[in-house]
Amino acid sequence: MEQINVIIPALNPDKKLIALIRDFIDAPELMQKIRAFIIVDDGSDSDHQPIFTQLEQLPLNNLTILHHTQSR
């Protein structure tokens, strides 16, 4: 089976990003195809950091969050 990586750049995301990742989690047939989730915090401000904290708490072993201090 072919495996894919999901890369999501995010600048000041809202709860829709959490909902999107939960949609993946709720689709086991899709999750079997995903090797890794990589979410890039592209310089988000401090008000939006709790979104990344909530993402880190989701039940995903294959989730990586990268943080940039400024937008790239």
Residue 31 · residue 1 · CB < 8 Å: no
pTM listed for this prediction: 0.90
Residue 13 · residue 45 · CB < 8 Å: no
DSSP assignment, residue 47? Answer: G
Position 1 scores a pLDDT of 73
Position 72 scores a pLDDT of 86
Per residue of the chain (72 residues), what is the pLDDT tens digit? 789 999 999 999 999 999 999 999 999 999 999 999 999 999 999 999 999 999 999 999 999 999 999 888
Position 71 scores a pLDDT of 87
Q: Tell me, what amino acid is at 27?
A: A
Query: Cβ of 27: how many Cβ atoms within 10 Å?
Result: 12
Residue 35 · residue 7 · CB < 8 Å: no
